[in-house]
Amino acid sequence: MIEGLSHMTFIVRDLDKMERMLTTVLDAKKIYDSGERTFSVSKERFFDIGGVWVATMEGDPLSDKTYNHVAFKMGADEYEDRLQRIRSLGLEIRESRSRVQGEGHSIYFYDYDNHMFELHSGTLEDRLKRYAEG
């Protein structure tokens, strides 16, 4: 039986830059750093982001940017602060898709290795309710 999400892993060129992005934008807490050791396929670091285990491993970045992404929940009143944090790191912000009133607000952005992240203020329940209204 599936119990939930175990972890997410992102392959990155520069572990330090990714750590800076995760801690600055997503309030990540670093919980492990392999240093020069490799227990898996490369050097790695583990973070806790809102109770989710996120791993970063050193390696070749994604070659293309796509709409594949991971979304983290933010409070509705955090939009401007999070946007400023993203801009302060010079990260590329992707224009948000068109939205209907009531499904929350999102900020889409790419990290330094073409991974797309979203910060979203809505919930699944909000979205389903709004979609049911037509």
Q: What are the distances in angstroms from CA 9 to CA 33, 40, 52, 70?
A: 14, 12, 11, 11
Task: Say which of 3, 44, 78, 103 is annotated catalytic.
Answer: 44
Q: What are the distances in angstroms from CA 7 to CA 51, 55, 56, 58, 94?
A: 10, 7, 11, 17, 25
Is 44 annotated in the active site? yes
Catalytic residue positions, numbered:
44
